[in-house]
Amino acid sequence: MSQKEPAGVSEAAIAVHWQEEAYYHPSTEFIAQANMTDKSIYERFSLDNFPECWKEYADLLDWDQYWHTTLDTSTAPEYKWFVGGKLNASYNCVDRHLGEHKNKAALIYVPEPEDEPHLAITYQELYVRVNEMAALLHDFAGVKAGDRVTIHMPMVPELPVTMLACARLGAIHSVVFGGFSGKACGERISDSGSKVLVTMDAYYRSGRLLEHKSKADEAVKVAANEGVTAEKVLIWQRYPGKYSSDTPPVEGRDFIVNDVIKQYHGQRVEPVSVPAEAPLFLMYTSGTTGRPKGVQHGTGGYLAYTTATSKFVQDIHPNDVYWCMADIGWITGHSYIVYGPLALAATSVIFEGVPTYPDAGRPWRIAEQLDVNIFHTAPTTVRMLRKAGPDEPAKYNYHFKHMTTVGEPIEPEVWKWYYHVVGKGEAAIVDTYWQTETGGFVFTTMPALQGMKPGSAGPAMVGIHPVIYDEDGNEIAAGSGIAGNLCIRNPWPGMLQTIWGDSQRFVSTYFAKYNKNPNSTDWRDWPYFPGDAAVQAADGYFRILGRVDDVINVAGHRLGTKEIESACLLVKEVAEAAVVPVNDEVKGKVPDIYVSLKPGYDASDSIKKAVMQAIDDNIGKIARPAHVYIVSDMPKTRSGKIMRRVLSAISNGTDVGDVTTLANPQVVDEVRGLVQG
């Protein structure tokens, strides 16, 4: 159901007319126990103390060899952090906790079927499993430091086990969201040059055991067509000892992990000590072109950043039961289900299923049973739960001290439901703005230090020095009420190192717009541009207004319009395709698709179905459009450019503005008639 709000070229319109809200303040109980109550941290992390201030973050980790240089800018904007240092991420997330916490749950797995028991994996048990998987990857699959391993798995504990096993070997994992298609996975295998794919036979979603392994066959085929051979496919079983896919393993290529790992019973693998700047993982994300880019994160900088932000912003202590209801296949899950919480010896909950299955009380039953006290989710989920079960939270006896929202702007009235109903008025909320590229939170309130303001992400994180620029690079002052392009003046340890295999794209995507001198090795010349518009209130709080590029944020997931359009063009009848964002009450935005056909073809339901199928096959179900409209022609400028702005206005039921200068203004009424009836 779409809300009739404007959604133009940028998402700015949805947020500018939100009122500035009054502050909410955390309870004295929360403040009394908070990890960060020292206001002077902002001074310690001022630009005067840059970059040495980041030592405070790095010192939360165990280093095999301490570093000598905090920041090396000689290849700016590809920076090196904590140079000279050596460490291992799996050691920091597992081994170092064995002394004090070996019998404490590291992970608690909650399967979707409610009659399946939960599984608590202690740090000792995690240590054993990570070692055995590392031994298998190394000895059986030939994985060594620097190799890439693609992992296409659902939300099961074997996923972090596999990631940490890669990290133990110094190998670079590339996790592909389980809901992505085999084709999307194959393109990522190819781009990263992975020789090994780790997958699972099946998983539960909305009450059904979904077959997953067949996607691996497609992925391997797609990668092979692009010249990259995945030599081994390693398949975890959803039910150990039982194969739950109807697609048989391919002889000589596919191996059941649960069988092979028996050979590695009791094996231990020394964690490989890697340089701080060794890549830890790749995470592919959408941008303005059709090809997703491999965001590369380094070991020392990334781990220090996620550990510190988990500690200070999420207020994680080792005794907390922390539940982030995101998918590990996205950056939120990497940073705030796996690396940050485990580096802090917390208990991190992994939930396989859908929050509203079998009903909207499920999350609160889980919270009650596990006594979760820190909760983390996205506005889209909050909206969904509010719609499906507004009174459910009150029926369950759980108490959160802290809640996070992430991934999209949260409407003030949704924030208030989250605060009063989900949080029962007891929990501090942080609205965290960040992205795949930033590695961790870059804007948020520090929960015990600053009040919460519904609809605002808050000020910048400590050590993040923001600025809003207009199109010409002039600074826009706080409190002016004028929106502009959000930038960060300085580098920080959690930021991406580069785009895998494409330094040029790294520079052009994030820096070219406001770079002062392309040859400079001074970080001051390289403001980072995340691609979002924002407005800063007089109190210094930022409201994020959304993307200014061709990215649509669907339910907190980034989709490139070009990617979706490319998929549509694979349908043989389709001549042109245009994708526009439509406001959606629950998902924030959903794509609407307009296609025109090649001469000689007539509009039909089967073509619409083929378009839907092409999107499922090439990207995944998450990119499914709300509608596919077959139009006789696209509204175009005289130079032939498709006017997506006009289509977007039609989809959202708003004013199309002046269309008289179009090459074919008559098409506008025709399209409007088709869409709005």
Q: Which residues bind ligand WT7 (CB under 6 A)?
A: 285, 331-332, 406-409, 431-436, 457, 530-532, 544, 546-547, 553, 556-558
CB of 209 to ligand WT7, least distance (A): 28
- C-alpha span between 527 and 275 (Å, rounded): 26
Question: Of 531, 511, 451, whose CA–CA distance to 286 is shortest?
Answer: 531
Q: Which is nearer to ligand WT7, 285 or 652 (CB)?
A: 285
- The upper half-sphere exposure of residue 670, i.e. CA atoms within 13 Å in the direction of its Cβ, equals 13
Handedness of CA 204, 210, 216, 221 (dihedral sign): negative
CA 382 to chain centre: 17
CB 283 → ligand WT7: shortest distance, Å?
A: 8
First-to-final CA distance of the chain: 16
Residue 268 C-beta: closest distance to ligand WT7, Å? 35
Nearest to ligand WT7 of 257, 378 (CB atom): 378
Q: Taking Cα atoms as reference points, which of 213, 203, 215 lies closest to residue 256?
A: 213
Q: How far is the CB of 542 from ligand WT7 (least distance, A)?
A: 9
DSSP secondary structure of 265-293: TT---PPP-EETTSEEEEEEE--SSSS-E
Q: Report the nearest approach of ligand WT7 to the CB of residue 622 (Å).
A: 11
User: How long is the chain?
Assistant: 677
Q: How far is the CB of 276 from ligand WT7 (least distance, A)?
A: 23
- Token pair listed for 549: 């590029």
In the structure encoding, which two tokens stand for residue 40, read together?
């002077």
Distance of CA 345 to the CA centre of its chain: 22
Would strands 627-631 and 347-351 be described as parallel, antiparallel, or unpaired?
A: unpaired
Q: Which of 532, 573 has the CB closer to ligand WT7?
A: 532
Beta-carbon-side half-sphere exposure of residue 317 (alpha carbons within 13 Å): 10
- Minimum CB–partner distance for residue 584 and ligand WT7 (Å): 15
Nearest distance from C-beta of residue 509 to ligand WT7, angstroms: 12
- The alpha carbons of the chain give a radius of gyration, in whole angstroms, of 24
How far apart CA 5 and CA 649 sit, in angstroms, is 9
| Shorter beta-carbon distance to ligand WT7: residue 407 or 463 | 407
The residue among 436 and 652 lying less far from ligand WT7, judged by its C-beta, is 436
Interhelix angle 605-618/561-568, rounded to 10 degrees, is 130
With respect to ligand WT7, which residue has the nearer C-beta, 437 or 573?
A: 437
CB closer to ligand WT7, 558 vs 608: 558
* 249/484 Cα distance (integer angstroms): 53
Of 131 and 307, the one with the shorter C-beta distance to ligand WT7 is 307
